[in-house]
Structure 1
Amino acid sequence: MITLLGFIMMLGIIALILLRRISPVVAFSTIPVAICLVAGFSPQQIGEFIKSGLLTVAPTAALFLFAILYFGIMRDRGLFDPLVNFLIRSTGGRPLAVALVTVLATAVVHLDGVGAATFLLTIPALLPLYRRVNMSPLLLLCLVGTTAGVMNMVPWGGTTARAAAVSGLDATQLWLGLIPVQVVGLACMLLIAGVLGLRAQRRQARSLSAAATVDFEATHTDPREYALSPTTLRYWLNVGLTVAILACLFTGIFPLYACFIVGLGIALPLNFSLDVQAERLKAHAWDALQMVMVMMAAAVLLGVLSGAKMSDGMALALIDVLPAGSAQYLHVIVGAFGVPLGMIFSPDAYYFALLPVIRDVAMAAGVPLESVARAMLIGENTGFSISPVVPSVYLALALAGVELRKHIAFTFFWAWGVSLVMLVFAVMIGVIQV
């Protein structure tokens, strides 16, 4: 029964959010509790589930809160204006070029394998550019998120580490076979960027406001009351502070959330008087608070999935419904559905609950262990940026100012399509065997 309730809960939450019948905060905080009560868990047990989930997401929620406030302060000070002006000049303000630059920049940035760091680096820098050339932030989030998913299979990434731990294989060994698959995935992303960029370019050309030319040297369209000139010392102190924070992100010498807690503590007195500090924090507070609320509510869902053992039951149930004789193709079937499955299973549940079951069944049919792990890596990674159970997704949504349901509706089929192309290519070249 708990397994059936788990499927009802996850599919119901996703459907209600997409159909805009309920907000994510309400869905994540109430439906799991109701399902647990129906399943017969006591309020004390449910409280422990929620406590466990909150402990899991607390560092990420702190990261969201302070990172959003920090980048809000930096936008006030015009930190990214010179970069935006340079990118506009170099791309000519053409949406096609902007989209291609987005994919290439994300591919380089995500070599560290940390989704939150990639979103923090790319979205605040590129969003003003998208606004200046009248491109949708949904397009930005689609290109950044899916490209990061393609690149996310590096051996130091969290998902590959999980797959290696469960399979007992070396993470580098898993990744080396996937390099040509990632190249194909990156080519797919450049193709998608070309298609969507041309579509945006045609829309820009039809727009009366852009029918003439975009004033590429114009000042930023947002209010610039607090912007600093790049010739001032304080501007370069902000640059130095931001570079130091990003260096900590890359090197891992300081926790992600701690980087921005300390960074915001330095940035506020560096840039504003005490009275203005309160005003600027208030100006950015809603952007920060609404995502932290969603994140803390999602902790209820994550805690219930894990504590009530719903994820384990759902994994076994998926195996049971597969047709007889499909054992040797099981890993490919699951890999093909990796994107939608990733929206139901958290990364921990996907790799620690679902992968062991798939591994045992497929290996009994003579499938190499490497093939099982690689097939499941391709599917889940590509669509991680649209999963409501991946914490860093809410950071990306907050930075881009996009609703979850709109992001899923825009990106889902592009991400799933790329994962299927990568999976087929991997089978064709023998990286994944059946």
Structure 2
Amino acid sequence: MLALLGYMMIIVFMILIMTGRLSAMIALIVVPIVFAFIGGFGSEMGPMALEGIKSVAPTGIMILFAILFFGVLIDAGVFDPIIKTILKLVKGDPVKISIGTAVLALLISLDGDGTTTYMITISAMLPLFKRIGMRPLILAGIAVSASGVMNLLPWGGPTARVMTALNLEMSEVFTPVIPSMIGGVLFVLFMSYCLGKKERKRIGVIEFDYQGVDQQAAATEELHLKRPKLIIFNYALTITLLIALIMELLPSAVLFMSGFAIAITINYPKLSDQKERVANYADNALSVVSMIFAAGIFTGILAGTEMVDAMASSLIQHIPDFMGSHFAVITAVISAPFTFFMSNDAFYYGVLPLLAKAGSAYGIDPALIGRASLLGLPVHLLSPLVPSTYLLVGMVGADFGALQRSFLKWACGSTVVMIIVAVVLGIIPL
């Protein structure tokens, strides 16, 4: 009964946001509350929701101050040289722009943090997309696709969860999966090429002088915000922060809070300027952070009612015995919908141990199940439960449902390619 209730809740939620009947934020709040009452959890719903909100609070704080930190750097002109370099290389060809965007997002994703990837990639490329008339939704889709593949990096989170949940070493989980990651990267570049071809067919190649674009932009931007004399300091601060994030010297929320405090104090020492900058970012920050806390209610009720556990158990129990020898591939396939419909913590700490235990009954090593569980991650980042994706769509001014409709098929394509590479090379058994 709980499993059925959980499936119905997710189906209703997805229908509501993908048809535009409700905004994602409202659906994240209303749908789980309604289903909690239907399931008879009315009296326990409050503590469940509060627990979910507490679990996402560090992420919400981190993203809030990440928006503020990168907002200060953008205003100060830190990314202007990057934009100029990309303009020189790609000019007005949508194919080159799409592939350049993918390469940029893949490189920035090496830090393992989706928020950082989106902030830098969108900040660098959105002016160019707007200038030549390319759809910003494509920019968002390329960024999330690149980040989805690079999410397998050990410091990105999911791989570390696998190693912890199954008590495995990196050499047993991540290292063998690298060829699959390479396959995923090549697929993202192929996707970017296809999208660029469609845009080239729609708008053609726009011939323009990138220096003229810079001058035009300079005429319209608030030049008094630029801090060219501090660009070396700002680059050093950004690199230091990224290194600290990768090395996990402090919690990410604390690092971004500290980075923001330093960045705004050095670049805009006047209190009036600081207030003006914070007010300028408030709209974007509020819309993103409110979505994160709404997602906390959804995950809190989903986990607190034990619908997640019931859904996992029901799926495992319905796998026929004759398919037991293919359990690693089955795990890889179901990891996509499972990581889409629940948080990484819920899947890797709750469901994965059950999958590993079931696999061991068929003689499959837990390390193989762990590897397989990572291959659905490209789909995960399009989940309405991933906070950083709301930041992404907010930055490009797109609708979350539109992003899912346009790029879910590409995310599934990345997963399929990664699974095929894994099977062909013996990373997981067929």
TM-score, normalization: structure 1? Answer: 0.90
Q: Are 1:194 and 2:188 an aligned pair?
A: no
**CA distance in structure 1 between the partners assigned to 2:394 and 2:79 by the alignment:** 18
Q: Which residue of structure 2 aligns with residue 382 of structure 1?
A: 378
1:35 aligned partner: 35
Equivalent-residue separation in structure 2 for 1:296 and 1:200 (angstroms): 36
- Flag the 1:237–1:363 CA change in 2: closer, same or farther, 3 A: closer
Q: Which residue number corresponds to residue 322 of structure 1?
A: 319
Aligned to 1:225: 222
- 1:196-236 deviations in whole A, cap 9, x for unaligned? 12222232318xxx4xx233221365941245556x42455
Aligned to 2:111: 112
Q: How does 1:53-68 map to 2 (within 5 A)?
A: 53-68=52-67
1:353 aligns with 2:347: no
| 1:16-95 aligned within 5 A | 16-43=16-43, 45-95=44-94
Distance 1:279 1:393 in 2: 26
3-state DSSP class of the match of 1:386?
Answer: coil
Counterparts in 2 of 1:248 and 1:121: CA distance versus 1, 3 Å: farther
The answer for the alignment partner of 1:366 in structure 2 is 363
Q: Does 1:281 align with 2:278?
A: yes
> Which letter maps to 1:251?
M
Provide the secondary structure at the position in 2 that maps to 1:20. Answer: coil
Deviation at 1:429, TM superposition (A): 1.8
CA contact (8 A) 2:52 2:297 kept: yes
Given candidates 311, 328, 331, the residue that maps to 2:328 is 331
Query: Is 1:103–2:102 an aligned residue pair?
Result: yes
- Structure 1: distance between partners of 2:236 and 2:330: 49
Instruction: Report the CA distance shift for 1:156/1:275 in structure 2 as closer, same or farther (over 3 A).
Output: closer
Take 1:242 and 1:408, find their aligned partners in 2: how far apart are those partners? 31
- 1:51, CA displacement in angstroms? 1.8
In 2, the alpha carbon distance for the partners of 1:34 and 1:303 equals 14
Alpha-carbon distance, 1:387 to partner: 1.1
- Contact 1:339–1:383, Cα closer than 8 Å, also in 2: yes
| Partners of 1:260 and 1:367 in 2: CA distance | 42
d(CA) in 2 for partners of 1:252, 1:204: 44
* CA deviation vs aligned residue, 1:95-122 (integer Å, no higher than 9, x gap): 2222222222333332333333333443
1:352 positional shift = 2.1
Deviation at 1:390, TM superposition (A): 2.2
Letter in 1 for 2:359: A
Q: Distance in 1 between matches of 2:244 and 2:169?
A: 27
The 1:315–1:105 alpha-carbon spacing in structure 2 relative to 1, beyond 3 Å, is: same
Using the TM superposition, give the Cα deviation of residue 12 of structure 1 relative to its aligned residue in structure 2, in angstroms: 1.1
Unpaired stretches in structure 1, ≥5 consecutive residues: none
**Alpha carbons 2:339, 2:347 under 8 Å: kept:** yes
1:178/1:236 CA distance change after superposition, 3 Å: closer
Q: Which runs of 5+ in 2 are unaligned?
A: none
3-state SS, counterpart of residue 342 of structure 2:
coil
Judge which range, 3-12 or 75-84, deviates more: 75-84
Q: Is the 8 A contact 1:117 1:249 kept in 2?
A: no
- Pairwise mapping of residues 174-213 of structure 1 onto structure 2 (< 5 A)? 174-205=173-204, 210=206, 213=207
Give 1:57 shift: 0.9
Q: Which residue of 2 aligns with 1:13?
A: 13
Structure 1 residues 129-171: Cα deviation after superposition (integer angstroms, max 9, x where no partner):
3333433232222222222222222333311122222333212
Deviation at 1:350, TM superposition (A): 1.6
Identify which of 309, 312, 318 aligns with 1:312.
Answer: 309
In 1, Cα distance between the equivalents of 2:256 and 2:349? Answer: 31
Corresponding residue for residue 294 of structure 2: 297
Please give the alpha-carbon distance, in whole angstroms, between the structure 2 residues aligned to 1:404 and 1:48. Answer: 28
Query: Structure 1 residues 9 and 245 mapped into 2: Cα distance closer, same or farther (>3 Å)?
Result: same
TM-score (normalised: structure 2): 0.91
Q: CA RMSD in A?
A: 2.4
**Which whole-Å CA distance do the structure 2 matches of 1:245 and 1:168 have between them?**
30
Distance 1:244 1:157 in 2: 18
1:332-370: per-residue Cα shift (whole Å, max 9, x none)?
Answer: 234224333322121112222222222222221223333
Q: Name the counterpart of 1:148.
A: 147
- Structure 2: which amino acid aligns with 1:354? V
The letter for the 1-side match of 2:281 is H
**Does the CA-based 8 Å contact 2:302-2:308 persist in structure 1?**
yes
Residues 237 and 428 of structure 1: is their aligned pair in 2 closer, same or farther, counting only changes over 3 Å?
A: closer
Q: How far apart are 1:407 and its partner, in Å?
A: 1.4
Alignment-derived partner of residue 400 in structure 1: 396
* Structure-2 separation of matches of 1:238 and 1:358: 46
Query: CA, structure 1 residues 73+413, in 2 after alignment: closer, same or farther (shift >3 Å)?
Result: same
Moved more, 261-270 or 172-181: 261-270
Identity of aligned residues (%): 31
How many residue pairs end up in the alignment? 426
Of residues 209, 218, 227, the one that matches 1:215 is 209
How far does the alpha carbon of each residue in 1:365-421 deviate from its partner, in whole angstroms, 9 at most, with x for none? 223333222222101x12222011223322333333332111111210001011112
Conserved in 2, the CA contact under 8 Å of 1:342 and 1:383? yes
One-letter code aligned to 1:27:
A
Residue identity opposite 1:262 in structure 2: S
Cα separation, 2, equivalents of 1:237 and 1:326: 58
Partner AA of 1:365 in structure 2: Y
